[in-house]
Structure formats: C-alpha cells, structure tokens
C-alpha cells in the first residue's frame, strides 16, 4: 500500500497498523496518484500548544474514507506529546479501516505483543479492574471478549509482580536442538541428526556458561524465582546430558535458588521423551514439564513434519503421569496445515482427557523461513481458526481452566493470540514474568536473549548470545561479557 505522510514521520506506528489490519500489504513510500490508484493512505498530523489531530484518508480496493482523531496536548511533556501523537495516528488509521471494511479485529488497534500489559499498568497505577477493561474497549477498540481475557491475564501479572523483590530474577536455559524441523518453525533449532557432533561440545559450553552465571548471580546477591529450560527441545539431549546441565545449574546457583519455587523443562516432542530422561528431571526436582503435541490428528502431525503418532503422545503422557510431576502442560496450535475446526476440537478434547493442569492454545503464526511459507502449504482460513478458538475457550473454562498469560505474534492467523490456561494454582510463573516483563531473565545457551528489567525505572536492556550452536561454543567471551553487563545493571 502506498503511504504518504504530512506533518510527521511515524513510520513505525503506521507500518504496524498496516501489518495488523492489512496482512500481506507492504508499505510503499512513493507519491500517490489518487485518481489512478486503488490502495493507499495519506496520514496527516497537525498540532498546536493545546491539541493535536491525526487525519487518515484511506483508499482500499478503490473505496475511500477519511477519518480523524484529536487528542489534548496541553501541559504534556515532549515525551507524552509524542505518545499521544502515535496513539492518535494509530486510532485514526484503525477507525478509517473499520469504517471502510466493517471489520473489527479482535484486538482492535493494538499491534503489540502484550496487549494485557495495559491492564497490568492500569492496575498498578491504582485503577479499578472495570476502568482497566474500559481502557481497552473504549480507547483501543478491543472487542469485549478479548478485553475480558486481557483483564484476567493482566490481573495474574499484577499479582505475580507483587511477590517479586528488586533482586529477583528468572533463568532461561536454551537447548537449540530438535529431532526434526516442524513446518511452522523459523527458530534456529538444528535437527539433531544433522548436527549430532555439535551436541556434546554445546553441553560443555552450556555447563561452563551456567557455572559462570551462577557465580555472578551469587556475588551480585540475586535470587532466582523460576527456571525454564526450553529450546528447541531440551529432551533431545540424552539423560546424562540433561543430568549434566541440571546439576551445573544447581551447583552454580546454590543458595541463590533458595526462593526458586519453579523449575520447568520443555519435553516438547513426545518422540524425545523416555522414562530415563523423565527420571533425571524428577531427580533434579523439576516441577513442571511441557509436552507439546500441537495436534492429536495423525494427518496434521504428518503435515507439520512430526515423526511421531498420536499414540506416541499418549505413551509420553503415560510416562509423565507415572513420574508424578506436579504440573504438566500441553501445547496445541490452532490453524495448522490440514487441520479443521473438527480436528482441533478432537485434539483439545483429547488433551483435556489427559487431565493436565495446563493447556496452552497457540494460534499459528506464519514465520519467514518456515516450511509453510517456503513450500506454500495450505492452512485453515481465519474463520476456521476463529471457530477453533471459539470452541477452546468455553471447553477449557467448563473443565476448570482460566487464562493466566497471553501474547500475540506477528502474522498470526486471524490476528488472534496465544493463551496459557491453568487450573487454580498451576500458573507457570516464568511465563508470566517473561510475557509481562516483570523481572530480569538471565539466559544461557545459543540464541539466549538476556533481559535486564528494572520496573521501578521502567528500564529494559537486552543482551544476546551468539545465535548458532557452533558460534556459541566457539565464542564463550560474548556470553561472559553479557553476564558482566548483567552484574553491572544491578550494581547501579
Ligand atoms: S519442536 Fe519447536 S523448536 Fe523444534 S522444530 Fe518444532 S517448532 Fe521448532
């Protein structure tokens, strides 16, 4: 879509709105010829001391409309004025879209990853739950159903934040290997068959990084409240390799783990789960595992490149049940290739029969580099995905689950969301911490993204480990310098 700006250069705001409302449309910055062209937008901004006004003239498939949104600016700091300008431009673009197409996207004009953060912020500022919900519905045009969901998850984050101290952190340990690559994946995860020789050196490097990080955490006086081992698929490692990593974690952090009430390991691919590996996890006090079938439909498993059958998932769940983990999560994805609303319903119903206390329902996100895009696989349309989610919410609520964290990604089918559902007391705090950016996350492993968070200063800084296992193994100095920055962040 051709874009023309007058009186501002809010490219990011307009491009995010474009992506949200017109998936697949790319911004083009060339002069518009309104009489000859069918898809374009002119976005203007005018302001004086007291007020600002955004005007959007939007033309889509030859039909056009103009919409404007004013905001008060009097007495605002330059930073606040900037925020209001962005809001007004986003709102005018959204309202023009809505008036032109008659569509109301589930999350209204919100384009970000964490729509419920607005609720958490409002509650923290002393607003009532009703006012927080009204903010979503009236100011950001979120549909009542999504606003209600965000109120529940934003409230869970508000409560989790209250129990965190200024030196409380979470730890992430990444294992970027998987048995095969799923069709929807763009993660740097390597198929273990192709990269077998990298695994042992990777485990050595990871254990060494954890040892140094644990020392740093103890010396800095940090307390680990939750640890999450993800990937990739951590259970791609052998039982002795898992033992080595978990032992390194326990030894290195030692007393910094006294307040750690949660250790989670993703045992994502059922074909990597064995009784021996689960026994190792249990012996190290792992509280929670996540088994991620994504679907229970045989044809869908094949279409996404999984090598296991629904029977393997059942066997893995049987092994997990024998070990008696306090919490087990299952992940499902709505919108996978070959799936239907009926198939998704069967998958969810089957997961509920397992009696796990956590179910995470994702919506398919189309990621660059995924096989779905590269090979042009057929996926269910937004209506079918909407039907899947329409089934999921009441079915989960009827079975005693409530939503406790949610997030959105770019290019999601139908512009919906991912939601973690739990039975009472089964919340995975790590998921809340990371999604709501409540505390720092110290990350270990290739592709690790360390986040330093100071909620009192609304300050967030990031450091990244080398992306690929080989590079990570060969360049330990980068991870070490990230740890030094982490310590320095807490020395201020
Ligand atoms: S299990 Fe997860 S990380 Fe591994 S290939 Fe599949 S989607 Fe990617």
Mutate to test the pocket of ligand 1, among 193, 233, 273 (most ligand atoms within 8 A of CB): 233
How far from 457 is each of 156, 158, 213, 435, CA to CA, in Å?
A: 22, 17, 24, 18
Q: Is residue 166 domain-shared with residue 98, that is, in the same domain?
A: no
Q: How far is the CA of 76 from the centre of ligand 1 (A)?
A: 46
Share of the chain above pLDDT 90, in %: 86
* Structural domain boundaries enclosing 72: 1-103
Ligand 1 close to Cβ of residue 182 (< 6 A): yes
Backbone torsions φ then ψ of 337, nearest 5 degrees: -55, 140
Q: Is residue 292 domain-shared with residue 373, that is, in the same domain?
A: yes
* Domain-located, residue 225: yes
* Domain-located, residue 140: no
Q: Is residue 328 domain-shared with residue 458, that is, in the same domain?
A: yes
Q: Is residue 77 domain-shared with residue 177, that is, in the same domain?
A: no
Q: Which atom of ligand 1 is nearest to the CA of 292?
A: 1
Ligand 1 close to Cβ of residue 308 (< 6 A): no
Distant-in-sequence, close-in-space partners of 313: CB < 8 Å, separation ≥ 6: 270, 291, 293, 296
* Beta strands 358-363; 418-422: pairing state: antiparallel
Q: Is residue 308 domain-shared with residue 419, that is, in the same domain?
A: yes
The residue whose C-alpha atom lies closest to atom 8 belonging to ligand 1 is: 185
Rounded to whole angstroms, how far apart are CA atoms 374 and 366?
11
Ligand 1 close to Cβ of residue 230 (< 6 A): no
Last residue of one domain, picked from the residues 83, 103, 123: 103
> In total, how many domains does the chain have?
2
Residues of the chain with pLDDT under 50: none
Q: How far is the CA of 104 from the centre of ligand 1 (A)?
A: 32
Ligand 1 close to Cβ of residue 233 (< 6 A): yes
Distant-in-sequence, close-in-space partners of 295: CB < 8 Å, separation ≥ 6: 301, 304, 332, 333, 336, 339, 343, 344, 347
Helix, strand and coil content of the chain, in percent to the nearest 5, comes to 45, 20, 35
Q: Is residue 97 domain-shared with residue 169, that is, in the same domain?
A: no
Q: Is residue 470 domain-shared with residue 369, that is, in the same domain?
A: yes
Ligand 1 close to Cβ of residue 367 (< 6 A): no
Q: Is residue 237 domain-shared with residue 343, that is, in the same domain?
A: yes
CATH code of residue 253 = 3.80.30.20
171: which 2 tokens?
């730890």
* Domain-located, residue 128: no
* Domain-located, residue 362: yes
- Reduced 3-state DSSP string for 5-65: EECCCCHHHHHHHHHHHCCCCCCECCCCCCCCCCCEEEEEEEECCCEEEEEEEEEECCEEE
* Domain-located, residue 137: no
> By C-alpha distance, which of 52, 56, 54 is closest to 21?
56
Q: Is residue 72 domain-shared with residue 210, that is, in the same domain?
A: no
Q: Is residue 298 domain-shared with residue 200, that is, in the same domain?
A: yes
Q: Is residue 300 domain-shared with residue 439, that is, in the same domain?
A: yes
The residue whose C-alpha atom lies closest to atom 6 belonging to ligand 1 is: 182
* Domain-located, residue 153: no
Q: Is residue 31 domain-shared with residue 175, that is, in the same domain?
A: no
CATH code of residue 36 = 3.30.160.100
- At 181 the pLDDT is 82
Contact 220, 490 (CB under 8 A): yes
- At 415 the pLDDT is 84
* Domain-located, residue 226: yes
Q: How far is the CA of 258 from the centre of ligand 1 (A)?
A: 32
- At 188 the pLDDT is 62
* Domain-located, residue 132: no
- At 180 the pLDDT is 83
- At 23 the pLDDT is 83
């Amino acid at each position: 879509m051709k874009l023309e700006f007058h009186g501002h250069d809010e490219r990011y705001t307009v491009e995010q709105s474009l992506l949200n409302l017109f998936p697949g449309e790319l911004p083009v910055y060339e002069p518009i010829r309104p009489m000859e062209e069918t898809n374009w937008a002119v976005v203007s901004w005018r302001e004086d001391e007291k007020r600002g006004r955004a005007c959007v003239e939007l033309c889509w498939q030859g039909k056009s409309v103009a919409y404007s949104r004013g905001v008060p600016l009097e007495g605002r700091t330059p930073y606040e004025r900037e925020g209001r300008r962005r809001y007004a431009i986003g709102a005018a673009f959204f309202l023009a879209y809505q008036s032109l197409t008659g569509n109301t996207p589930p999350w209204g004009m919100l384009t970000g990853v964490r729509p419920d953060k607005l609720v958490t912020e409002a509650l923290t500022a002393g607003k009532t739950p009703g006012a927080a919900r009204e903010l979503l519905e009236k100011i950001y045009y979120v549909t009542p159903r999504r606003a209600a969901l965000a109120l529940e998850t934003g409230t869970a984050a508000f409560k989790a934040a209250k129990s965190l101290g200024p030196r409380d952190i979470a730890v992430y340990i990444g294992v970027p290997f998987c048995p095969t690559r799923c069709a929807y994946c763009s993660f740097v995860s390597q198929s273990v068959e192709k990269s077998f020789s990298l695994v042992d050196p990777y485990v050595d490097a990871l254990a060494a990084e954890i040892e140094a990080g644990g020392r740093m955490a103890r010396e800095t006086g940090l307390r680990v409240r939750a640890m999450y081992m993800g990937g990739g698929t951590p259970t791609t490692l052998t039982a002795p390799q898992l033992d080595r990593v978990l032992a390194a974690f326990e030894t290195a952090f030692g007393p910094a783990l006294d307040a750690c009430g949660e250790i989670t390991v993703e045992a994502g691919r059922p074909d990597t789960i064995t009784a021996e590996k689960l026994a190792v996890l249990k012996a190290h006090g792992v509280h929670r595992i996540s088994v991620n079938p994504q679907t229970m439909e045989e044809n869908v498993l094949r279409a996404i490149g999984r090598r296991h059958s629904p029977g393997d998932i059942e066997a893995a769940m049987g092994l997990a049940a024998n070990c008696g983990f306090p919490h087990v999560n299952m992940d499902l994805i709505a919108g996978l290739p070959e799936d239907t609303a009926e198939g998704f319903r069967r998958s969810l119903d089957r997961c509920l029969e397992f009696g796990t206390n956590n179910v995470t329902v994702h919506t398919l996100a189309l990621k660059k580099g995924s096989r779905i895009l590269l090979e042009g696989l057929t996926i269910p349309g937004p209506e079918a995905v909407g039907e899947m989610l329409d089934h999921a919410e009441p079915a989960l609520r009827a079975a005693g689950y409530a939503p406790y964290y949610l997030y959105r990604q770019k290019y999601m089918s139908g512009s919906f969301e991912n939601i973690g559902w739990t039975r009472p007391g089964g919340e995975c705090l790590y998921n809340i911490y990371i999604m709501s950016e409540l505390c720092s996350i110290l990350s270990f492993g290739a592709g690790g993204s360390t986040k330093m968070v100071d909620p009192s200063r609304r300050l967030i800084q990031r450091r990244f480990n080398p992306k690929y296992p080989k590079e990570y193994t060969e360049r330990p100095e980068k991870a070490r310098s990230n740890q030094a920055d982490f310590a320095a962040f807490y020395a201020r």
